[in-house]
Amino acid sequence: MLEAFSKGEYDNEYLYEADNALIAFISLSLRRDYVEGKVDSNPVGYLEAIYVEPEYRKRGIARELVSFAKIWSIEQGCSMLASGCELANEESRIFHNKIGFAEASINVHFTMSL
């Protein structure tokens, strides 16, 4: 159950408290540059990070945090909430799809040592 949101150490980072302990957090940002799937000139709310302590998972806490992110993004003038993860992070991909995100694209990034 959501007992308290409090502002974290940095702007747009929020801590989730339950059982008198900090057990989850969410980090949000506003992106105005290119974001996959962006269709208008509004900024995009971006879910930079989300974490729930393992013993508190499967209780709807992450869903509450994402609901908070949606409201926060709308209040910032956004018409979209976006996020990302590494292709190999199957657990995160499953989470994002389950919580309501749709995959916009899959990219492969390249580097070259000089």
Q: How far, rounded to the nearest angstrom, does the alpha carbon of residue 78 sit from its chain's CA centroid?
A: 14
Q: Does residue 47 sit within a domain? A: yes
Task: Tell whether 10 is covered by a domain.
Answer: yes
User: Domain for residue 50, yes or no?
Assistant: yes
pLDDT < 70 stretches in the chain: 1-10
Q: Is residue 110 part of a domain?
A: no
* 30 lies in some domain: yes
Quote the CA–CA distance of 114 and 110 in Å, as a whole number. 13
Domain that holds residue 91: 4-99
Cβ–Cβ under 8 Å, residues 28 and 46: yes
Where residue 60 sits, what CATH number does that domain have? 3.40.630.30
How many domains, in total, are found in the chain?
1
> Would 106 be classed as within a structural domain?
no
CA dihedral over 60, 79, 44, 83, signed as positive or negative: positive
